[in-house]
């Protein structure tokens, strides 16, 4: 099985780039952020205070998360309910960022993530895929962009969905999430030593995808 790890901060275009590259190369695309979002959603549903790790850990045994892969995308099923859309709100993003800092949450999701790479050729996107989940991945890419360009893209994406968002608020959320993701003790966001860094600040989506596909083809 071939595995490609694509890590990087929120909003660098990882999921779009990874999904399209996977389609082009015939690989299965796995968005691991969705798993953390699903745990965040489970906490929201059950009124759990995510600043209390012990309360979050208590609900894990009763939390069943499945990914259904179809049409090159994935649906996230939480305890039998499709939560793919609701895990994309700003509230769910922040909650996911908080729960993802809890070591017990990370170990809960580790085997699940590794099992995907055992059964298919995958492009997996996340924060710690190249460093922790698949340290032996065949290709490791760290996709990044300036926080301002990530906030601009995110504001535009939300507007396209009819959600009016304030650029400055989106930017401050991105900076806060970057800080949380890169300063936690367990599996912080950082490039693997053997990763190739792709900065998409000055690249169009098409150029970013081409660059990623070229890197993968080159390495395989
Ligand atoms: O990629 P995303 O924005 O959907 O991820 C949601 C949150 O989950 C984000 O704050 C970082 C965290 N995450 C993580 O800690 N490790 C991963 N492999 C993927 C996501």
Q: Is the CB of 127 under 6 A from ligand 1?
A: yes
Count of domains for the chain:
1
Q: How far apart are CA 63 and CA 94, in angstroms?
A: 19
In 29-166, which residue ranges form alpha helices assigned H by DSSP? 33-45, 53-59, 90-99, 103-119, 147-160
User: pLDDT class for 72, splitting at 50, 70, 90?
Assistant: low
Q: Is 181 in the pocket of ligand 1 (CB under 6 A)?
A: yes
Has this prediction a pTM greater than 0.85? yes
Query: Helix axis angle, 90-99 relative to 167-183, nearest 10°?
Result: 10
Residue with the smallest CA separation from ligand 1 atom 10 is 97
| pLDDT tens figures, 120-140 | 999 999 999 999 999 999 999
Question: Residue 168 belongs to a domain with what CATH number?
Answer: 3.40.50.300
Q: What is the span of the domain harbouring residue 152?
A: 3-219
The region of weakest confidence among 34-48, 88-102, 120-134 is 88-102
């Amino acid at each position: 099985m071939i595995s490609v790890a694509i890590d990087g901060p929120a909003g660098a275009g990882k999921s779009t780039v990874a999904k399209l590259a996977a389609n082009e190369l015939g690989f299965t695309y796995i968005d691991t952020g969705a798993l953390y979002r699903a745990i965040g959603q489970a906490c929201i549903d059950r009124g759990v205070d995510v600043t209390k790790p012990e309360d979050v850990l208590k609900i894990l045994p009763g939390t069943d998360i499945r990914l259904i892969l179809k049409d090159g995308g994935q649906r996230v099923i939480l305890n039998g309910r499709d939560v793919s859309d609701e895990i994309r709100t700003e509230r769910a993003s922040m909650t996911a960022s908080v729960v993802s800092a809890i070591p017990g949450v990370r170990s809960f999701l580790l085997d699940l993530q590794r099992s995907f790479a055992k059964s298919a050729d995958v492009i997996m996107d996340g924060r710690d895929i190249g460093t922790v989940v698949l340290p032996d991945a065949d290709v490791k890419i760290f996709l990044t962009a300036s926080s301002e360009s990530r906030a601009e893209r995110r504001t535009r994406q939300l507007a396209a969905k009819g959600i009016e968002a304030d650029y400055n608020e989106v930017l401050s959320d991105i900076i806060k999430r970057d800080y949380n993701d890169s300063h936690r003790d367990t599996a912080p966001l950082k490039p693997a030593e053997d990763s190739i860094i792709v900065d998409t600040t000055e690249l169009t989506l098409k150029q970013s995808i081409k660059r990623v596909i070229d890197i993968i083809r080159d390495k395989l």
